Structure 1
Amino acid sequence: MNAVLAGLELVLRWDVILTILVASAFGLVVGAIPGLTATMAIALLVPITFFMDPIPAVGAMISCSAMAIFAGDIPATLMRMPGTPASAAYSDECYAMTRKGEAEVALGANVLFSALGGLFGTAVLIVSAPLLAEIALGFSSFEYFWLALMGLACAIFIGSGSPVKGLVSLFLGLFVAQIGIDNPAGVPRFTFGNSNLLGGVDFIPAMIGLFAMSEVIRTIAAGAPDWSVRQTSLGNPLKGWGRLIVKYWPQQIRGNITGTAIGILPGAGADIAAWVSYAMSRKFSKTPEKFGTGHVEGIIESTSANNAALAGAWVPALVFGIPGDSITAIVIGVLYLKGLNPGPTLFLNNPESIYAVFIIFIIANLAMIPLGLAALKAGTALLRFPRRILIPLILLFCIVGAYAVNNSAYGVVLMLVFGILGFLMEEHDIPIAPCVLGIVLGKMLEESFVTSMIKADGNLLAFFERPIAGGLGVMTLLVFCLPIWGALKRRRAAAT
């Protein structure tokens, strides 16, 4: 109880509340602009957090990402252009409702069930994270090796449509993680005689490049076209909220559970949760023929799932230091910069900070309803903002953010290199998420493997001797083997 009260004291300060509100507004703006993802919003926000205390910095990250995930529904509904990948699964359904003159119903459902989904995911985070942290205190290098490997496996086979392209992305990330002198052998690797690379690749400029700079390059290459809004005025988004809750509560709960479970899986994220939930909604619906014609049922389940996944992704991030998605990958970097090193000891050494994070999640999701309703009214005006003005502003943010990490032009160079890399990857449909996971988990994977091999005197069976390590090992091998087995079965069936 003392830790909870201390967490409340950390959050209920004017500067923290103001930071949450400003970051929420920023997230709504970025999320509502097609192409500017929630991850990009977080990457652009990172340089500003350098000048904040830890709790306001984390509060800004949480509120910005929650609002950006929801705001992606606005252009998806009005223009059939999802603002973020998490809204892509049900953008056709939302747009079909707009064509029928029911945009206010679709957007109202997005606001309400996004907030409820976020609150459900937060409840799971509050309950499960401390319990998992107690278990994780007994983890050794063997368990952390399997966790890191499972995270990479999930990024390939769950978070990617093509496992081969996922592997390419993963190996790029693992290569980047090997650069520098910070390795078990203490030997410079892949520095090519450049002293700047001895310290490795700075994570923040790399993330800004992959997610923000790549979008700038893509928009410039496309000629920065403007967009047209389908509907210029909205009715009452509050219309029918009570009826929707009563009629579709099973879909909402199923979306919450699915989204949270997928969010906890490393590398999956809110967009995968939305696609899976939309498919489940259609499969189990009593009226599947209505899907695609502007049916709110699939929207409710999907929008509940992607916001629940956002909180679920924080479970492995806080407990094990393993990101659940690309957003928490960036957040982990900020936590380390602020001295809040993720892991089970964080729950022992800084319990008040953990409870502050939980409280911020609750505030952010509750604030989503009034702020989201206000954003719906301003959405059409925002979507008329010319891209030719917007892109230079984003480019300025990218340059300042990359430079501010070490007050060095080297950060800007890194950002440009990774911006080009991210652009080329997406042009060839190579997912970025496995690359990010490779960068984040590469060092943990190598260090835990080397440490474990030294402990076991080279005996590989030692990785399965501890009960938890053995269980994690079997699960990881299944993640690798089941997709291969499924592909072989499909090939055999096609041959016959």
Structure 2
Amino acid sequence: MDALIQAFGLVFDPSVLVVILLSAVFGMFVGAMPGLTATMATALLVPVTFFMPPIPALGAIVTATAMAIFAGDIPAAMLRMPGTPASAAYADESYEMTKKGQLNLNMGVNLVFSVAGGLVGVVVLIAAAPALAEVAINFSSFEYFWLACLGLTCAVFLTNADAVKGFLSLFLGLLLATVGIDPSAGFPRFTFGEVELMQGINFIATMIGMFAVSELLRGAVTVRDAGHVVVQQVGDMFRGLGAVWRRYWFNFLRGSVIGTVIGALPGAGADIAAWISYAVSKRFSKEPEKFGTGHVEGIVDSTSANNSALGGAWIPALVFGIPGDSITAIVIGVLYMKNMNPGPTVFTENPQLIYSVFLIFILANLIMLPLGWAAIKSARQMLRTPRNLLLPCILLFCIVGSFAMTNSLYGVVLMLVMGLFGWFLEEHGIPVAPLILGLVLGEMLEQTFVQSMIKADGHYLEFFARPIAGVLGVATLLIWGVMLARGIMRSARR
């Protein structure tokens, strides 16, 4: 109780509250700009935290990250350009809702379910941090291999296009994931003598190109749309939310649980949580045919998942010092810099730090509601600019974001090439979402497979020897079997 009272005094200090508020505005701006990510917002704050005590430093990072993850939904809904990778999974769905004239409901769902999902993640972080972290720390390469396979299986549920085109897109993503240094032999592959390609295909630059640049190209070639207002009037965002809550409350709980669990797995994160949650939503929906046409169900699942994943990612970071995602990897560095080493002892030596993090998470999610409302209202004023003025500005942000992720022109060139490639694919009816998923999970799939084969000495049954790995492996194979059987039966009926 003394530690909790001390934490309240630390967090609700006026100077700390000012830092949290300014960080919230900064995170909201970064997340709303296509090409700038939550990880970038965190990285940009690190030099500032050098001159801060531990509590305001953590408050700045936690708040900016939470705001950026939500704010990425704004350009996704209005321009089909996800502000952050965590919004990429349902950018198409969100944009289709806007095209149907449902921008108000779309933004209201994104805002309210983001806040609610973030609070669920905090509750789980507070109540079950040691237990979930213990499960995550026991994951070996076998479990991660099957988790990657399970995630790739979701690609078939991410698109309404022809299954063959969906798998083609997925395999293109896996192919791009093999560019760079071979994880087992250390030999460069598909680099064509270019040193920059040895680091692989940068995911952020590719995502910016596939979603933002391809949409810019599509808008540029549509001359008749030049000068038109991009988005409609944003009215009452909270009208109709009661009906959505009553109908999709289970989707919210399911997405929040998936997000928290995925976030607690080291190396995962909000983006993977959103992809998997969206795929699960479509797979078990009573109306799967509506997905991709502007259906709110998938958005409820995904936006709850990516915000709840933030709290989950702090579980292994605080308890064992293992980052749950790239953001908590930066946080661990900040904690070490402040001589507050994360690990099991932090709960006994610095309990006020743990309680302070919990309080900051709750506070950040609560202030997201009014700030998010203000950001959505102001975004319309900026995004209603005529296309011939808006498109170059967005392209500038995309270039800045791609350059910042690689610190070289390689990121900019990669973004432009992937933008052209993504535009070409979509013009021929090939979805880009499975490609992005393949690129995200391809590296994990290959590395864990090689590591597992070395451990198993070439015996494939070892992939099922561990309990968790066996459950994940059997579940993955069952899904593949069901999909194959349905395909054969459908062909036979034809």
Normalising by structure 1, report the TM-score: 0.70
Choose which of 5, 18, 21 in structure 2 pairs with 1:17: 21
Q: Distance in 1 between matches of 2:444 and 2:253?
A: 30
- Check if 1:225 corresponds to 2:226: yes
Q: Distance in 2 between matches of 1:273 and 1:219?
A: 32
- What is the letter of the counterpart of residue 225 of structure 1? A
Q: Which position in structure 1 is the counterpart of 2:256?
A: 260
Name the SS for the 1:52 alignment partner: helix
Q: Go from structure 1 to structure 2 and tell me whether the alpha carbon gap of 1:218 and 1:334 turns closer, same or farther (over 3 Å shift).
A: farther
- Check if 1:411 corresponds to 2:415: no
Q: Which position in structure 2 is the counterpart of 1:308?
A: 304
Whether the 8 Å contact between 2:77 and 2:106 is mirrored in structure 1 is no
Name the SS for the 1:186 alignment partner: coil
| Cα-to-partner distance string for 1:356-409 (whole Å, 9 max, x where unaligned) | 876665444322332344356546544532222222122222222323344322
Name the SS for the 2:430 alignment partner: coil
Return 5+ residue gaps in structure 1 as ranges.
31-39, 77-82, 284-291, 293-297, 322-330
Whether the 8 Å contact between 1:67 and 1:368 is mirrored in structure 2 is no
Q: Go from structure 1 to structure 2 and tell me whether the alpha carbon gap of 1:475 and 1:390 turns closer, same or farther (over 3 Å shift).
A: same
Q: Distance in 2 between matches of 1:65 and 1:266?
A: 12
Q: Distance in 2 between matches of 1:164 and 1:251?
A: 33
| Cα-to-partner distance string for 1:321-366 (whole Å, 9 max, x where unaligned) | 9xxxxxxxxx94555566669xxx9875988999887666544432
Aligned length: 438
Q: Distance in 2 between matches of 1:348 and 1:379?
A: 43
Q: Which position in structure 1 is the counterpart of 2:215?
A: 215
- Check if 1:87 corresponds to 2:80: no
Q: Which position in structure 2 is the counterpart of 1:36?
A: none
Q: Which position in structure 2 is the counterpart of 1:195?
A: 195
Q: Go from structure 1 to structure 2 and tell me whether the alpha carbon gap of 1:444 and 1:124 turns closer, same or farther (over 3 Å shift).
A: same
Please report how far the alpha carbon of residue 229 of structure 1 lies from its aligned counterpart in structure 2 after TM superposition. 8.0
- What is the letter of the counterpart of residue 87 of structure 1? S
| Cα-to-partner distance string for 1:88-144 (whole Å, 9 max, x where unaligned) | 57558864xx9xxxx7x9976775555435534554566566533211222222212
Please report how far the alpha carbon of residue 477 of structure 1 lies from its aligned counterpart in structure 2 after TM superposition. 1.0
Q: Which position in structure 1 is the counterpart of 2:449?
A: 449
- Check if 1:51 corresponds to 2:44: yes
| Cα-to-partner distance string for 1:230-263 (whole Å, 9 max, x where unaligned) | 97585x7677x9xx75x87643522312433565
Q: Which position in structure 2 is the counterpart of 1:159?
A: 158
Whether the 8 Å contact between 2:314 and 2:328 is mirrored in structure 1 is no
Q: Go from structure 1 to structure 2 and tell me whether the alpha carbon gap of 1:274 and 1:205 turns closer, same or farther (over 3 Å shift).
A: same
Q: Distance in 2 between matches of 1:262 and 1:427?
A: 33
Q: Distance in 1 between matches of 2:222 and 2:469?
A: 49
Q: Go from structure 1 to structure 2 and tell me whether the alpha carbon gap of 1:255 and 1:187 turns closer, same or farther (over 3 Å shift).
A: closer
Name the SS for the 1:51 alignment partner: helix
Which deviates further from its counterpart, 397-406 or 369-378?
Answer: 369-378
Q: Go from structure 1 to structure 2 and tell me whether the alpha carbon gap of 1:91 and 1:347 turns closer, same or farther (over 3 Å shift).
A: farther
| Cα-to-partner distance string for 1:276-303 (whole Å, 9 max, x where unaligned) | 79856999xxxxxxxx9xxxxx96x776
Q: Go from structure 1 to structure 2 and tell me whether the alpha carbon gap of 1:133 and 1:159 turns closer, same or farther (over 3 Å shift).
A: farther
- What is the letter of the counterpart of residue 212 of structure 1? A
Q: Distance in 2 between matches of 1:216 and 1:393?
A: 11
Please report how far the alpha carbon of residue 449 of structure 1 lies from its aligned counterpart in structure 2 after TM superposition. 1.6
Whether the 8 Å contact between 2:74 and 2:376 is mirrored in structure 1 is no
Name the SS for the 2:201 alignment partner: coil
Q: Go from structure 1 to structure 2 and tell me whether the alpha carbon gap of 1:281 and 1:312 turns closer, same or farther (over 3 Å shift).
A: farther
Which deviates further from its counterpart, 177-186 or 46-55?
Answer: 46-55
Name the SS for the 1:374 alignment partner: helix
Q: Distance in 2 between matches of 1:348 and 1:164?
A: 48
Q: Map of 1:67-466 to 2, 5 A cutoff?
A: 67-69=71-73, 84-88=91-95, 95=102, 112=112, 115-120=115-120, 122-124=122-124, 130-154=130-154, 156-161=155-160, 162-223=162-223, 225-228=226-229, 234=235, 250-260=246-256, 268=275, 304-313=300-309, 332-333=325-326, 362-375=362-375, 377-378=377-378, 381-466=381-466
- What is the letter of the counterpart of residue 159 of structure 1? L
Whether the 8 Å contact between 2:115 and 2:307 is mirrored in structure 1 is no
Whether the 8 Å contact between 2:256 and 2:305 is mirrored in structure 1 is yes
Normalising by structure 2, report the TM-score: 0.70
Q: Go from structure 1 to structure 2 and tell me whether the alpha carbon gap of 1:195 and 1:109 turns closer, same or farther (over 3 Å shift).
A: closer
| Cα-to-partner distance string for 1:40-81 (whole Å, 9 max, x where unaligned) | 4554x65554432285456434312213436866899xxxxx
Which deviates further from its counterpart, 219-228 or 261-270?
Answer: 261-270
Whether the 8 Å contact between 1:72 and 1:86 is mirrored in structure 2 is no
Whether the 8 Å contact between 2:117 and 2:307 is mirrored in structure 1 is no
Q: Which position in structure 1 is the counterpart of 2:338?
A: none
Q: Go from structure 1 to structure 2 and tell me whether the alpha carbon gap of 1:400 and 1:483 turns closer, same or farther (over 3 Å shift).
A: same
Return 5+ residue gaps in structure 2 as ranges.
50-57, 81-89, 263-271, 318-323, 335-340
Whether the 8 Å contact between 2:120 and 2:308 is mirrored in structure 1 is no
Name the SS for the 1:444 alignment partner: helix
Q: Distance in 2 between matches of 1:160 and 1:8?
A: 49
Q: Distance in 1 between matches of 2:231 and 2:392?
A: 26
Q: Distance in 1 between matches of 2:289 and 2:449?
A: 43
Whether the 8 Å contact between 2:114 and 2:307 is mirrored in structure 1 is no
- Check if 1:66 corresponds to 2:46: no
Q: Distance in 1 between matches of 2:182 and 2:5?
A: 38
Whether the 8 Å contact between 2:70 and 2:110 is mirrored in structure 1 is no
Name the SS for the 1:207 alignment partner: helix
Whether the 8 Å contact between 2:110 and 2:303 is mirrored in structure 1 is no
- What is the letter of the counterpart of residue 158 of structure 1? F
Q: Distance in 2 between matches of 1:185 and 1:106?
A: 48
Q: Distance in 2 between matches of 1:202 and 1:222?
A: 29
Which deviates further from its counterpart, 189-198 or 397-406?
Answer: 397-406
Q: Distance in 2 between matches of 1:438 and 1:233?
A: 35
Whether the 8 Å contact between 1:122 and 1:361 is mirrored in structure 2 is yes
Q: Distance in 1 between matches of 2:122 and 2:288?
A: 22
Which deviates further from its counterpart, 66-75 or 143-152?
Answer: 66-75
Q: Distance in 1 between matches of 2:451 and 2:253?
A: 37
Q: Distance in 1 between matches of 2:427 and 2:359?
A: 40
Q: Distance in 2 between matches of 1:230 and 1:180?
A: 40
Q: Go from structure 1 to structure 2 and tell me whether the alpha carbon gap of 1:383 and 1:61 turns closer, same or farther (over 3 Å shift).
A: same
Name the SS for the 2:70 alignment partner: helix
Name the SS for the 1:430 alignment partner: coil
Name the SS for the 1:192 alignment partner: coil
Name the SS for the 1:268 alignment partner: helix
